[in-house]
Amino acid sequence: MIIDLTGRTALVTGSTQGIGLAIAEGLARSGARVAVNGRTRDRVDEAVSALRADGADVLGVTADATSTEGVDRLLAELPAVDILVNNLGIFGAVPAREITDAQWRTIFEVNVLSAARLIRAYLPGMIAREWGRAIQIASDSAVVVPEEMIHYGVSKTALLALSRGFAKDAAGSGVTVNSVIAGPTHTAGVEDFVYQLVDRSLPWDRAQREFMREHRPQSLIQRLIEPEEIANMVVYLSSPFASATTGGALRVDGGYVDSILP
CB within 8 Å of 238: residues ≥ 6 apart: 3, 5, 8, 10, 27, 30, 32, 83, 85, 133, 135
Cα–Cα dist 63/5, whole Å: 25
> What does the alpha-carbon distance between residue 249 and residue 123 come to, in Å, rounded to a whole number?
19
Nearest 5°: phi and psi at 71?
A: -65, -40
Selecting among 122, 152, 236, 256, the annotated active-site residue is: 152
Torsion angle in degrees (nearest 10) through CA of 92, 86, 139, 29:
-110
Q: Is 152 a catalytic residue?
A: yes
In sequence order, what are the residues at sequence separation of 6 or more whose Cβ sits closer than 8 angstroms to the Cβ of residue 235?
3, 5, 23, 26, 27, 29, 30
d(CA 257, CA 143): 7
Catalytic positions: 152
